[in-house]
Structure 1
Amino acid sequence: MKKGIFGAQLIALASLLGPCAQAADIKIGLAAEPTAMDPHFHNLTPNNQVVMHIFEPLIIANSKFEWKPGLAESFKAINPTTWEFKLRRNVKFHDGSAFDANDVLFTMCRVPTVVNSPSPFTLYTKAIKEMEAPDPYTIIIKTAEPYPLLPNELSSVAILSDTLIEGEKVTFASAGCKISHAMPTTADFNSGKAAIGTGPFKFKSFTKGDRIEFVKNDAYWGKKPAWDQVIMRPIAAPGSRVAALLSGDVDFIERLPTQDSARVKADPNYRIADVIAARSIFLVMDQFRDVPPGVTGTGNKNPFKDVRVRRAISLAIDRDAIVKRVMGGAAAAANQLLDKSFEGGDTKMAPLPYKPEEAKKLLAEAGYPNGFAVTLASPNDRYVNDAQVAQAVAQYLSRVGIKVTVNAMTSSSFFANRAKYDFGFYLAGWGAQTGEMSSSLRALVATQNKDRGWGVSNFGKYSDPELDKLIDEAMVTVDTTKRAALLAQASKRSIDEMAAVPLHSEKAVWAMKKSLSYEARADEFTSATNITPSSK
């Protein structure tokens, strides 16, 4: 009798609690699969947005690129070359170990050691010359010269647990740290063995080609997420991603295809969130080899070394038409490598014109009156309508005599081949994770310099000492207004020389069930912590 009464009480209690008693799960459809769960392996949005559910940086960028305390509860510049970070106390890693300064030292030592990184995170750590921990909750970082963007850049570096090296005490050295234990490998993170962070979610599984699963970190130091479990499914095909949302297989998708936008907006069961993103799509040309891969009909010359050819390529492309017809309006025609609305953009720069006849004249002046042939490589599942944009570019270039064959491939193949310099001409994108122009300039068109972490995605090997000088001066200018002016100058020079040919800035678009809402992020990150239940 008592047993029956107790059972009835449980049923009644469950009834009273209602939905709150149910496990709150969220299923997310991703447009691209991360190449690894290693937070220092590949500086790519699909990777970064996923691993940051598990790991956290010292400084956190919110949806508007405002810098907030993360694992560092405060930070300040003691002088132009010295920064003090006060670390958050009472933070635990997912394995229960305590977070302190040694974890930060270990992390910064590990970043430059990652094997076979297609796009290393040294871009964000190379400025650090000295680092020490005067106590367990203070980090002092010194740079060789003033470096005002250090806090911004550290927002991209996920902090690891020193339990991965059995708690060995670390002394940082910019030339290479001496650590007796073996560094964790990318495979260790993919298996979950090393996926130990402080973030709001814990690693559950990573099954390539299928799903990534997280569970809520009940011991999280910050605001608890709304979800007990997060299931992320890579669904590269845009139509399939929308179908998964409409069928209920997933609750939320990123990169709503432009062709489906009107239909989803009109359906009262769904809602959309969007924002102009800190990402530009551009063309890169090989400017270092005598004969680039895929180029023919030039008499064994490299046409891309001639600025007239680079300018002709730009003039041949109707960006407004691509935005309207290919992107469905979900983009803004670009005139530089980051939209002018972000810090360091040249707000006075005119739109890049569409002048095909002038393009033909420049090609003739450069010695190519009949044009030439080239292969344009592009991913087909990484950026919004990337393969279609590449095809449109090919059609425009063909009208001025440049015969283009598009070689579109999966993003995993594209980035692996690009890292081997297999392309002479390619389409790609860059998201400025610091929310300002120096990120794009240093990564894409600054002269490659491994020691400084510059040119990490400059696979055309463009090099211009005058441009480097402007970027360099900006990077040591503490005054925000003066730094922005220098970056604008550098941006203009990169366009004058067509170091890379910008096409458009993407608009990030998410679609979801009406019962959800999303705080759209300018960094394009899909973050389960930004997804919340909605009654509106």
Structure 2
Amino acid sequence: MREHRTVTPRTVTHRTVSPRTGRAGVRRHRRLPLAALAVAMGSGLVLSGCGVANSEDAAGGSAEGGTPETLRVVLQQEPPTLEPCEANLTSTGVVDRSTITEPLVERNPSTGDLEPKLATEWSSEDDTTWTFTLREGVTFHDGSEFTAEDAAHTIERAVNSDLGCNVEGYVFGDDDLEVEVVDDTTLEVTAAQADPILPLRLSFLEVVPAETSDTEKVREPIGTGPYQLDTWNPGQSIDVSAYGEYWGEAPAFPKAQYQWREESSVRAAMITSGEAEIATGLSPEDQIGELGVPYPNNETIALRMHAESEPFNDIRVRQAVNYAIDKEGIVASLYGGRDEVAAQLVPEGVVGHNESLEGWPYDPEEAKKLVEEAQADGVDTSAPISMIVRSAQFPRIEELGQVLQEQLSQAGLNVNLKMMETSQHLTYQVRPFVEDEGAILHLTQHGNQAGDAAFTVEQYMLSDGAQSAFGTEEFDQMITEAGQQSGEERAAAYEEVFAYQNEEVVQFAHLAHQTGMLGIADSVSYEPNSSSGDELRLAEVTPAG
């Protein structure tokens, strides 16, 4: 029987979660461990080569040879965790977001509009305190009822605690939020200062039960989404099944299975051979043919330079890196001309994109000249530089790393290419950064799915941003003031921020705005959008025809 919780209507500063009771007045039991909730999906099956851990009975189709029961998805890599407060990381969010877990509000990736999810309404009179009306009749995958206490705890845990969630630095920075539970279905959230996009920020928080630890991260979440996590076989697969009590429309496929293959050609082959229905991170070079579906994915790739060590503590060297890279050639030779040379970290369509900026020209002679000038002034331009690149992050990334290493070496820099797996790469990607490494050149892939420059500049350009290597007081002030604007003034202020970065800071060497490609089998129907690379909503996949 599903438990119900009663909360006396009142306003409570939700710094400490108060005990919740069931109808009989007994403290609500903690949720069952995952093992007790699991539903077997092909236990005992072992992966080999390109094989898929689905038997013909389990995944190949119904007894009459109709629609397959299990939707099979092959990813570039195994998620390092499914911790909901890390769901802004692509490798986690592609499984979690709006599939296993859900936010209060959700941005429509096609229109940019905020739409109801676990909250049905939200409003504010001063852009500082926002009131959210929560959806009734929602239950978590353990059968317990969703209320404002869960939403409040989610915010406290991800934003106000010392848990160290990536989403905190990425979306909220150093400021805490004041959270008050008014009643079961009403929540008030107050920012430290006026924040006209607070509901958009909250769209990055995947709601978890109030019993979820705020001192330890969880690897396997309990959510409210259309699919519940059944089993995670490390190194092999993640199995999910449709949640029978889901508040919304039931998904078309009763089960789904995630697998991962590092080689994009292998993922493509699994689509063409009928071993999977959806494959991520493909390109036409993978010989996927008409089953490869391109989409604008809002991702931008760039090199981030850490300026605390030589030679990057000299702006001339950082400028030289920009001149040394043949961005047009990379786009043409590695990506078939589908991508677009970038001059900033956000593509067109994001509030604050500066249309007047142009990519740095390819000028290897100017690059050499700047390096030589810095060397003549005492800068150790021979200091080793570690170029950190994540394996299988996107198509042909290993080749890209090699090209960048060669072109920067020709400019007179001592670059060592280091390919890393996801978990190791994260220690370089976000604060606190690896220490005692010397000069670091980090290949980053940034997707601004929120559609507002705040989610880029606050984490990548503030002096203490989660993914920023340095900055200046003047630049910090520009960014802070831009975030307090709205409308046309907001867009113009962020345009100035991007221009200032290129002229005065030069933390980044922007490479390209990317396009994505999914492999989609003929047996299913799915229309990818700009968020598909970060949150592949399985409930939107239906049988073809």
Smaller-chain TM-score bracket? 0.7 to 0.9
Match of 2:11 in 1: none
Alignment of 1:131-530 (within 5 A): 131-164=179-212, 183=214, 185-186=216-217, 189-190=218-219, 192=220, 195-260=221-286, 263-266=287-290, 271-289=291-309, 302-367=310-375, 372=382, 373-416=384-427, 418=429, 419-421=433-435, 422=437, 424-448=440-464, 455-458=465-468, 461-477=469-485, 479-496=486-503, 497-523=505-531, 524-525=533-534, 526-530=536-540
Q: Distance in 1 between matches of 2:412 and 2:371?
A: 9
Query: Match of 2:199, SS?
Result: helix
Q: Distance in 2 between matches of 1:138 and 1:117?
A: 27
Query: Match of 1:279, SS?
Result: strand
Counterpart check, 1:76 vs 2:114: no
Query: Match of 2:321, SS?
Result: helix
Does the C-alpha gap of structure 1 residues 417 and 146 become closer, same or farther in structure 2, counting only changes over 3 Å? Answer: closer
Counterpart check, 1:111 vs 2:158: yes
What does the per-residue CA deviation read over 1:141-194, in whole Å, with 9 as the maximum and x for residues that have no partner? Answer: 111221112111111101111244xxxxxxxxxxxxxxxxx54733xx43x4xx
Match of 1:12 in 2: none
Q: Distance in 2 between matches of 1:211 and 1:87?
A: 34
Query: Match of 1:226, SS?
Result: coil
What does the per-residue CA deviation read over 1:416-452, in whole Å, with 9 as the maximum and x for residues that have no partner? Answer: 355434462221212224222221211112111xxxx
Contact 1:376-1:404 at 8 Å conserved across structures: yes
What does the per-residue CA deviation read over 1:295-321, in whole Å, with 9 as the maximum and x for residues that have no partner? Answer: xxxxxxx12111111111101111111
Contact 1:226-1:532 at 8 Å conserved across structures: yes
Query: Match of 1:206, SS?
Result: strand
Give the drift of 1:363.
1.7
Code of the residue aligned with 2:499 in structure 1: it is K
Q: Distance in 2 between matches of 1:410 and 1:476?
A: 38
Match of 2:79 in 1: 34
Q: Distance in 2 between matches of 1:401 and 1:123?
A: 34
Contact 1:377-1:427 at 8 Å conserved across structures: yes
Contact 1:316-1:396 at 8 Å conserved across structures: yes
Give the drift of 1:379.
1.1
Query: Match of 1:303, SS?
Result: coil
Considering only aligned residues, what root-mean-square deviation do their CA atoms show, in Å?
A: 2.4
Contact 1:212-1:233 at 8 Å conserved across structures: yes
Q: Distance in 1 between matches of 2:63 and 2:265?
A: 38
- The runs of 5 or more residues in structure 1 that have no matched partner are 1-15, 165-181, 290-301, 449-454
What does the per-residue CA deviation read over 1:202-251, in whole Å, with 9 as the maximum and x for residues that have no partner? Answer: 11012222111110012111222111001000111212212222222211
Code of the residue aligned with 1:35 in structure 2: it is P
What does the per-residue CA deviation read over 1:462-482, in whole Å, with 9 as the maximum and x for residues that have no partner? Answer: 1122221121112111x2211
Code of the residue aligned with 2:192 in structure 1: it is A
Give the drift of 1:404.
2.3
Q: Distance in 1 between matches of 2:414 and 2:392?
A: 24
Q: Distance in 2 between matches of 1:19 and 1:435?
A: 43
Contact 1:315-1:354 at 8 Å conserved across structures: yes
Contact 1:273-1:509 at 8 Å conserved across structures: yes
Code of the residue aligned with 1:514 in structure 2: it is D
Query: Match of 2:85, SS?
Result: coil
TM-score where L is the length of structure 1: 0.82
Counterpart check, 1:97 vs 2:144: yes
Match of 1:169 in 2: none
- The runs of 5 or more residues in structure 2 that have no matched partner are 1-61
Q: Distance in 2 between matches of 1:364 and 1:118?
A: 42
Match of 1:87 in 2: 134
What does the per-residue CA deviation read over 1:110-157, in whole Å, with 9 as the maximum and x for residues that have no partner? Answer: 115777758343433454532212221111111122111211111110
Code of the residue aligned with 2:289 in structure 1: it is K
Does the C-alpha gap of structure 1 residues 235 and 437 become closer, same or farther in structure 2, counting only changes over 3 Å? Answer: same
Q: Distance in 1 between matches of 2:199 and 2:272?
A: 41
Query: Match of 1:427, SS?
Result: strand
Give the drift of 1:42.
6.2
Using the TM superposition, name which of 111-120 and 272-281 deviates more.
Answer: 111-120
Query: Match of 2:80, SS?
Result: coil
Contact 1:114-1:185 at 8 Å conserved across structures: no
Aligned residues: 470
Q: Distance in 2 between matches of 1:116 and 1:163?
A: 15
Contact 1:124-1:157 at 8 Å conserved across structures: no
Q: Distance in 1 between matches of 2:447 and 2:206?
A: 17
Match of 2:36 in 1: none
Give the drift of 1:17.
11
Give the drift of 1:27.
0.2
Contact 1:280-1:337 at 8 Å conserved across structures: yes
Give the drift of 1:80.
2.4
Query: Match of 1:508, SS?
Result: strand
Contact 1:102-1:136 at 8 Å conserved across structures: yes
Give the drift of 1:509.
0.8
Using the TM superposition, name which of 113-122 and 229-238 deviates more.
Answer: 113-122
Contact 1:384-1:506 at 8 Å conserved across structures: no
Q: Distance in 2 between matches of 1:113 and 1:36?
A: 21
Q: Distance in 1 between matches of 2:347 and 2:320?
A: 22
Query: Match of 1:493, SS?
Result: helix
Q: Distance in 2 between matches of 1:129 and 1:512?
A: 41
